[in-house]
Structure 1
Amino acid sequence: MRSILIYLFACIGFTAGAQELLTVEEAVAIALKNNYEIRIAANELKIDEQNVSLANAGLLPSLSGTFTQDNQIQNSRQVRSDGTVQELDNALNNRMEYGINLGWTIFDGFGMFARYDQLKEFEDLGETELKLTVLNRVSDVMTTYFDIVQQQQVLKALDTAIVISNERVETAQNRFTIGKAAKLEVLNAQVDLNTDQTNFLRQKEQYQNTKTYLNELMARKLDTDFVVADSVIIDDRLKLVDLMSLADSQNPEIKIALINKRIAELNLKQVRANRYPQINVNTGYVITDAESSLGFARENYGRGFSYGVGASINIFNGFLQNRNEKIAKLQIDNSQLQIEQQKQTVNSQLMTAFQTYLTNLELVELEARNVEIAEENLDITMAKFRIGTITTLEVRTAQLNYINAMARNSSAQFQAKMSEVRLKELAGNIELE
């Protein structure tokens, strides 16, 4: 059995040497750089950063240039106070006005300051959402990567099954040739070989499809070929109390709930600002040039500064102010409830995932021992088969037990690693080791 495995691993190693060896760290790094969802979330954060400005909050004045020209052609008739009558058909009247105007809201009940703080909270929200996207995609990449590792191990197990089945066919054929076995034994061995080859092809198909999906997550050419590591390293030192402490301060979904509460509180300040007066100041420099075919002044030209101040206050709007404030307060209450709900949800998920993690760690040890037992059993069975003291059914049973043990061992390692990744994702801190 050991010689078969040495030969098999040597063949796989020679094949893998011609392909790119992709580590999980490299896969994550490529995804962080290329993944479309991460890049979109990063651009959304840049938009939020651009929105944080004094002007967007209404704290700065606005300066505008204006230009107006009116032309009129009229049939005019004017009667002056002394009884004189003037008439003119197609009288031309022109008026042109241009200048610069500045307007500034200097007080709006502190609403502009609340809007500016709210814009900064939206920036923090965008940053946290980016972190959440990164965590999710990194988790997806690691899950897919270690799934490929598992499938690669299963392929090795199925390849081993084919090698053993080939040996069975040759041994059965030799025994049939010298008259020590019936044709049925050869046929049974051939059927088992065909079954193993079918299972190998099905597993290879799934293996290739999963590699394509990992390339998709990394946003690179889908047909890029690679091989992954042949083993899984599991962090067995995780502690539930440490994970809960990390989640309370780092879990993005909890942080999003906290930010949404601060946004709701700032929204209440903006609503309350409507109770105060709004004061605006304005100034400008305007040039006016007018011409008239009739009237006392045929031409009118002027230029100069204008300035003023305006104030307004909401005295009564049908009790809408009270309604809006009550709604804003209820939104704050809901935000607090969402924080408590999110914390409870995360802690519940952590406790459930941690129990699964502990179970999977035990299964890893158990399945590793099962592989050793199944391998020893297969060695003994094959030795007895070669000297003809055991039936082909017993050989096939030992062979399937070994393959299943290897598959369960790979699955146990994969599930344990996924439990580890899930716990770190919930804690908001996926570290690569």
Structure 2
Amino acid sequence: MNRLYLIIFFINFILSNEYNLDSLIKIGLENSPSINLAVEELKKARANSIEARSTALPKVQIFTSGTKNFNIAGQPISFPIFPGLLDQFGNPVSNDSLSYFQATGLIMSEIDLPMGTDYSGVFGINFNQTLFDGRVFAAIRASKIYDTYTEESYNEIVEKVIENIKISFYSVLLTKKVFKVFKKSLERAKSNFKNTELLFESGNVNELELIRAESLVKDQETFLKNAEKNKILALEQLCLVIGIKNVDNLNIIGSFKEINFNILSLENYEKKLLKNQSQIRQLEASYLLSKENIKTYLSEFYPSISLSGAIHKIQSKNKEDFKFEFEHFQDNTSLSINLSLPIFDGFGSKARVMKAKADAKKIKYQSEDLKNNLLLELKSIYLNLNESMEKIYAGETKLELAKKGYSIASDLFKNGMTTQLDLLGAEINLNQAELNLIQAKFEYQIEMAKLSRSIGENTERIK
């Protein structure tokens, strides 16, 4: 039997999965759908950048074509007959004919001439190179800015995902701590009930005290069941956030002991926020994009210049003369410079420039508004963080006093020097002190998670 228990223990040990906060963050970043979506957006931005640069590179095409004409239409063409002699019927005759033939001037004779050949073939290379086009260069600059915009969008999502993982992680720790508090409280209530039974049997307390002691046990059992339910739900919520489906044998490792009371000043955090906050850098990139958009529309007033050329080999002959041999194809090479200068487009370009300038101003105002809101949020987080630290200081003192008070009340009750109500009050004070301290530490960790997201600290650490 002992061997069986040992085997079961080792199996549970092997199958159990232990995770701390760092490992949960790593798993969450790998499994988060929003992160995966942001990664695809990064790939898309890089592809757009390549596409934009390609517009400034030469376009080269190799082509070939062959044609077989089954019916060739004739084109009526009039050919001149030079001055000569005509007989009485109007037909030309030679000069050595009889003298009575009449002399004539130029005569036009119409003939149907086929325009084409039975076979034709051509192959070669075409190329086109943009020499100057304001829209092309603006698109290249905009693509680089869009890369930055997309990267900051990715960083923003990472910050939010890590914040949610931290909140879910500490929620699990909170429910585990609360469960332990009520479990200890239930053990104390059961021990107190046994002592009350002994005192009742010896006649030192009345039946009302016994009923109160038993009611306290039932209350603590109810609280413990509710705490267990919250612990299960918090664990499932954490698994949902990080993308783990199997909740069984999942062991979360961590504590509320890691508390740093030496935090920086609000001014230092504000500097970090303005430097690292991805939302601010997103809007800065968006503003630069709007400026490039203005340049794009302004370029519609400028000329565009391109160079194009062709190197062809052509053969066009009838069936008996057409040969599939390289030397039978003739060279046909050309080079041209194309200039396009806009004159008038109905004021459409001017209207587009006006709209682009208005959009740029809107983004600038949005950026200022965002900075103010983020700084206000940071100040709220900072004040809440200081408040939670003060609660921790006070909570630790209250917990020591509550433990001392419960110990005194328990000893007095055992000696019949106080009532069950006094002991119940001491038990409630002890439970409340433990829960308040745990809640204060939980609030501290939550505010620290918000602070890390606010100043862009999460992405700086994982880079």
TM-score bin, normalised by smaller chain? 0.7 to 0.9
Matched, 1:360 2:388: yes
1:50-129 equivalences in 2 (<5 Å):
50-53=47-50, 56=53, 58-70=55-67, 73-74=70-71, 79=76, 81=78, 82-84=109-111, 95-109=120-134, 111-129=135-153
| Counterparts in 2 of 1:350 and 1:298: CA distance versus 1, 3 Å | closer
Farther-moved stretch of structure 1 (329-338 vs 254-263): 329-338
* Structure 1: segments with no counterpart, 5+ residues: 1-14
| Counterparts in 2 of 1:17 and 1:194: CA distance versus 1, 3 Å | farther
1:17-416 equivalences in 2 (<5 Å):
20-53=17-50, 56=53, 58-70=55-67, 73-74=70-71, 79=76, 81=78, 82-84=109-111, 95-109=120-134, 111-223=135-247, 225-236=250-261, 237-290=263-316, 302-416=330-444
| Counterparts in 2 of 1:31 and 1:78: CA distance versus 1, 3 Å | closer
Task: Give 1:126's aligned amino acid.
Answer: T
**Structure-2 separation of matches of 1:79 and 1:112:** 50
Task: Give 2:63's aligned amino acid.
Answer: T
| Counterparts in 2 of 1:235 and 1:43: CA distance versus 1, 3 Å | farther
* Structure 2: segments with no counterpart, 5+ residues: 1-11, 79-108
CA contact (8 A) 2:52 2:143 kept: no
| Counterparts in 2 of 1:32 and 1:77: CA distance versus 1, 3 Å | closer
| Counterparts in 2 of 1:311 and 1:243: CA distance versus 1, 3 Å | same
CA contact (8 A) 2:129 2:307 kept: yes
**Structure-2 separation of matches of 1:304 and 1:283:** 11
Task: Give 1:28's aligned amino acid.
Answer: I
CA contact (8 A) 2:49 2:144 kept: yes
**Structure-2 separation of matches of 1:145 and 1:84:** 96
**Structure-1 separation of matches of 2:414 and 2:151:** 66
**Structure-2 separation of matches of 1:200 and 1:324:** 67
**Structure-1 separation of matches of 2:155 and 2:305:** 41
**Structure-2 separation of matches of 1:135 and 1:233:** 21
CA contact (8 A) 2:182 2:220 kept: yes
SS of the equivalent of 2:457 reads coil
What is the aligned residue count?
412
> Could you tell me which residue of structure 1 aligns to residue 106 of structure 2?
none
**Structure-2 separation of matches of 1:358 and 1:85:** 102
Task: Give 2:125's aligned amino acid.
Answer: I
Task: Give 2:148's aligned amino acid.
Answer: D
Normalised by the length of structure 2, the TM-score is: 0.80
| Counterparts in 2 of 1:100 and 1:375: CA distance versus 1, 3 Å | same
**Structure-2 separation of matches of 1:165 and 1:335:** 63
Q: Report Cα offsets for 1:295-317 as digits up to 9, x if no partner.
A: xx999964422221211111001
| Counterparts in 2 of 1:78 and 1:107: CA distance versus 1, 3 Å | closer
Q: Provide the identity percentage.
A: 18
Structure 1 residue 73: deviation in Å?
Answer: 4.5
**Structure-1 separation of matches of 2:227 and 2:372:** 40
| Counterparts in 2 of 1:359 and 1:16: CA distance versus 1, 3 Å | farther
**Structure-2 separation of matches of 1:85 and 1:242:** 94
CA contact (8 A) 2:117 2:316 kept: no
SS of the equivalent of 1:98 reads strand
Task: Give 2:132's aligned amino acid.
Answer: F
**Structure-1 separation of matches of 2:422 and 2:59:** 90
| Counterparts in 2 of 1:132 and 1:77: CA distance versus 1, 3 Å | closer
CA contact (8 A) 1:148 1:228 kept: no
CA contact (8 A) 2:61 2:127 kept: yes
**Structure-2 separation of matches of 1:69 and 1:18:** 71
CA contact (8 A) 1:21 1:229 kept: no
Structure 1 residue 253: deviation in Å?
Answer: 0.8
SS of the equivalent of 2:260 reads coil
